[in-house]
Amino acid sequence: MNREELLARVVAFVRGIGVGVTEGPIERATLVPGIDIVDGTLRIDPVQMCAPSDALHEAGHIALTARELRPSLDGTISSTPAEEVTTIAWTWAAAMHLGIAPSDVFHDEVISGNGPTLRENFSTGRYVGVPMLQRWGMTFDHRAAAAAGVEPYPHMLRWLRD
């Protein structure tokens, strides 16, 4: 899948789960090149963007913010380490749902250069961040999924936190 197709797939998914997306120039400095968060929505500048999957990760930060707080998100989101690994897990699940290759979702430059380590861990089933997704009723780990009779993570029951 080429870059434009991947971006189109990511944007359609993000919009489909209820997170707004606009495309166009970004005037202010952002943590992730070519991606900004404006009033709880994603702003993407495809020219400046490193990789389309980076937009998926930033959308995860919005999706995992409590519903009532989402509209107040603007600019760089400061997250705790626990929130960041939960967003990483959400990103992996979304990428698997969309059929995005592991090398595209956790490319070498992503998450301060930790892409190769994340890619290896997630590809071999060593998932970080799933406990919070499970706590929020968004997915189940293998044991809880078996007890509930549903598919385990990376299958998601829902994409937005209440």
pLDDT tens, residue by residue, 15-35: 999 999 999 999 898 888 899
Dihedral of CA atoms 56, 133, 157, 142 in degrees, nearest 10, equals 120
111 against 75, higher pLDDT: 75
- Residue 4: is its pLDDT beyond 70? yes
Check if the beta carbon of residue 155 is closer than 8 Å to that of residue 133. Answer: no
| Mean per-residue pLDDT, 131-155 | 97
Q: How many helices (H) and strands (E) does the chain have?
A: 8, 3
Residue 154, preceding bond cis, omega within 30 degrees? Answer: yes
Q: Chain-wide mean pLDDT for the chain? A: 92
H-only helix segments in 38-140: 52-63, 81-98, 102-105, 110-113, 115-123, 130-135
73 against 47, higher pLDDT: 73
